[in-house]
Homo-oligomer: A and B are copies of this chain.
Amino acid sequence: TKMLMDKEISNGETYHMNSGDGPYSYAKYSSYQKAIVDAAKKMLVEAISDNLDINNPSFGSSNTLRIADMGCSVGPNAFIAVQNIVEAVTLKYQSMQQNPQALEFHVFFNDHVANDFNALFRSLPPSRPYFAVGVPGSFHGRLFPKSSLHIVHSSYALHWLSKVPKEVMEINFLGLKNRRNYSTADEVLEVFSRQYKRDMQSFLTARAQELVGGGLMVLLVVGMQNGAIFSQTCSGMVFNLFGSCLMDMANVGLVSNEKVYSFHFPLYYTTPKELGALIETNGYFNIEKIEILARPVEHESPDYRICSFHLRAAMEGLVEEHFGKEIVEDLFERYTNKLEENSFIFDEEYRKETHLFVFLRRKIT
């Protein structure tokens, strides 16, 4: 086990979405995420209108409102989300008979250092109503001075763990011994759930320092309905199919078994109940709202190639890092075919994964 335990596994802090220009770029294959951001727009405008307290002294007298987007990738969804927030705040000012002209927005786009910030900067909307900056670093740690932000936003990013938890290595070893893939086994989920709790505590505590008292946080979180079992959701089955492609390749000697059993996506799908509980435990925020967003309507017959592209746009970097460049084409080809053979997983009954709309307010201390 020694060798297996020591091996570097997919490092949550170095991966990144495919960048601006390639054929499988994240910008091109993130339309599903865009639909989520759009679906959240109405809720977001309402929530900001109800909760933004512009006369709160901790907002300062400087007439600058600071917004951060955590896990922005290379756009364009982050730009749309920020635009929605700016519009909501401006509306709120107008409704309070205050002059929004005096207000200036400073927007902080955050992602990992490995994110393609050059592409992000090139694609910033040219006539944007805000000053834009890029913030490199993990949102699981501190990134901003104390009390410097008024609104924090994050979409489609908080299901990324900071790393594949070390404990999972023991289970990988069992899997390898018994030639069974435990990827979605209960023990693995338990270990991932503990990692998620640690990561969310770090995230919430860091943001609590950075937000002013009364500051707002809008989180669009990938998750599941309460009570759902991950391996029985469409997403769980998608990951299992991906895993089975890897096992097929191991069986014909294209990759080693060790590599396959030590590969995990550093992702976790929470539930409203679990997430709510850990925000309560953290204690810095009032929960104004946790709701399940209606799932975006999809095209009649899902195109498996596009579906495969989606996963590829998000995951290629990780896969390459772990297995090397050589297997990528073959793997995603197999994966596309597997999806087609197993199209039943897209049936309504398995679509238990959801997007949570979470609206928090920093307690005033």
Contacts and interface: CB of A to CB of B under 8 A. Distances in A.
When all copies of this chain in the complex are counted, the total is 2
A106 B148 contact: yes
Contacts of A62: 60, 145-148
A113 interface: yes
A134 interface: yes
A143 B145 CA distance: 19
Interface string A90-109: 00000000000000111010
B146 A63 contact: yes
A344 interface: no
B136 A106 contact: no
A132 interface: yes
28 contacts: A60-B62, A62-B146, A62-B147, A62-B148, A63-B146, A64-B145, A64-B146, A64-B148, A104-B145, A104-B146, A106-B148, A108-B133, A113-B122, A116-B118, A117-B117, A117-B118, A117-B121, A117-B134, A121-B134, A121-B136, A124-B136, A131-B142, A131-B145, A132-B136, A133-B134, A134-B134, A134-B135, A134-B136
9 closest A-B pairs (Cβ-Cβ)?
A121-B136, A104-B145, A64-B145, A133-B133, A134-B134, A117-B117, A133-B135, A106-B145, A113-B121
